Amino acid sequence: MAQNYRIYINDNTLFISDVLPEQKEKIQQLELQDFDLQIFYKKLKNGSKKSYIFLTKNPKETFKKLKKDCTIIKAAGGLVESAKGNYLFIFRNKKWDLPKGKLEEGENMKETAVREVEEECGIKVAKREEKLCKTYHVYPIGSKMVIKKTNWYKMKVKGEPKLIPQKEEGIDEAIWLDKNHISPVIKNTFPSIMDVLRAGGIL
């Protein structure tokens, strides 16, 4: 089975796939030949929420070509469930988010995910479970385009510990929410976080 990719550029979605995804929104096909990610990024209007696709027989190869001129940053994060069945969310940069951060030297993705959750929310992870999904996000740093790959893991904590948001990381709030009361999050979060919530069976 071909591996298909979904890459987020702000609120826009770029698919690399061998089939057209099923969705109501119009999807614009792109050609890989002469494609420049930086020029494409600059042309996207602020606040636009459009879908684009590279329709290709070999998504993996196409993704490899796209990554060639980019800096790759690896990160990991967690969808954390308390013993009461509530889920951990943070409020950062005026959006609801999940705790995550960049890989440090000598770490693997699983270790990064646990460390970031513990640091950003002041809790102890009791159990790291399976990988839920990975998300890709594109943004510029200086003159380079970055593709950030984030691995997401399901985690559990004992009880429902008090949360201490890491202010120096720009986190204003950290809260436990019942999955039936996450509509404020859904209204104001990133498309990639929606993917994680779907993979975790919350949506």
pLDDT digits (tens, 9 = 90+) for 166-185: 999 999 999 999 999 999 99
pLDDT digits (tens, 9 = 90+) for 131-156: 999 999 999 999 899 999 999 999 99
CA dist 76 and 150 (Å) reads 5
Output the CA–CA distances (angstroms, integers) from residue 151 to 73, 132, 154, 192, 193, in the order listed.
11, 8, 10, 11, 12
pLDDT of residue 21: 85
Domain 73-199 has CATH 3.90.79.10: yes
Angle at CA of residue 192, ends 186 and 195, nearest 5° = 75
What φ, ψ does residue 74 adopt, rounded to 5°?
A: -105, 140
pLDDT band at 22 (very low <50, low <70, confident <90, very high): confident
Copy the structure tokens of residue 30.
Answer: 């792109």
pLDDT digits (tens, 9 = 90+) for 70-110: 999 999 999 999 999 999 999 999 999 999 999 999 999 99
Q: Which residues pair with 43 in a beta bridge?
A: none
Total-model pTM: 0.93
How do the domains of the chain map onto residue ranges? Answer: 5-68, 73-199
